[in-house]
Amino acid sequence: MCLTFFEGKGYSSAFTAHTAVLLARLEGEDPLIRIVSHTDEVCAACPNNEGGVCRTAEKVNRYDGAVLALCGLCDGAELRWSDFARLVRWHVLDAGKRDGICGDCEWNSVCAEHRF
């Protein structure tokens, strides 16, 4: 869900550079992706990633769990990036449910500027 709103801001310059490359690859190649409940490719350059464990895992798990439940997906699901992005768009963003999931996030003001 966060990638929908990515505009070059993030936890560090390394994190934002990595995220920009990753997002371009996802949108350009539309690869098959696997949903995982632990740190993943998005986390590779994040300063909150401490040896494969997210320092804010409680918050992330709460957000991710809510998004996946609304999308009818679970840990380990495999699907095309575009199909995943479409499910998030339909079931969370277009449904007006984003704020209820992650309205307490430190980045909420960035995402709240977008209208769906």
Q: Could you list the residues that contact ligand SF4 (CB under 6 A)?
A: 39, 42-43, 46, 48-49, 54, 56, 60
Nearer to ligand SF4, 76 or 96 (CB): 76
Nearer to ligand SF4, 13 or 94 (CB): 13
With beta carbons less than 8 A apart as the criterion, state whether 4 and 88 touch. yes
What is the C-alpha separation between 113 and 52, in angstroms, rounded? 32
Nearer to ligand SF4, 4 or 48 (CB): 48
For the bound state, the minimum distance from the C-beta of residue 25 to ligand SF4, rounded and expressed in Å, comes to: 16
φ/ψ of residue 24, rounded to 5 = -60, -40
For the bound state, the minimum distance from the C-beta of residue 56 to ligand SF4, rounded and expressed in Å, comes to: 5
Angle formed by the axes of helices 57-71 and 81-88, nearest 10°: 90
For the bound state, the minimum distance from the C-beta of residue 36 to ligand SF4, rounded and expressed in Å, comes to: 11
Strands 53-54 and 78-80: unpaired
